[in-house]
Amino acid sequence: MKKVHVIAILSLCVASLAITGCATIAGSTNMLTDERIKSETSGALGYSPNDLTIVSRRTEGVNTYVNLKANDGKEFTCVINGGNLFTMGVTNPPMCSTKGEPIKTDPFQR
């Protein structure tokens, strides 16, 4: 009976380390350039890429969080999923909202 518990605990530890390792690798292999971020988010926001400036960005796991400012002074927050080694550089459409509002995670919600 104790052998089963030890195997279960070891399996859980190995799975936890694997998941943590995957998130670390995904974050460190992010392939999204500033130009690509502006290109992808501009379509979702209805601006030209040249009208957007990246204020800040951070990558956590497979998500890249970006704060953008448009030439007209409006500010936006976007999340881009993908763009790393695990997704072979492919991304999902960005999810964006006006700064200070919650991001709508349903792409069909307006």
Domain ranges within the chain, ordered by starting residue = 2-98
Spatial strand order of the sheet with 95-98 comes to 52-60, 63-70, 75-81, 95-98
H-helix or E-strand containing 52?
strand 52-60
With CA atoms as reference, report the closest residue to 58 among 71, 74, 77. Answer: 77
Segment 38-77, tens digit of pLDDT: 999 999 999 999 999 999 999 888 899 999 999 999 999 9
75 φ, ψ (degrees, to nearest 5): -120, 145
Burial code (b: 16+ CB inside 10 Å, e: under 16) for 62-74 equals bbbebebebeeee
Most confident region among 8-12, 59-63, 70-74, 102-106 by mean pLDDT: 70-74
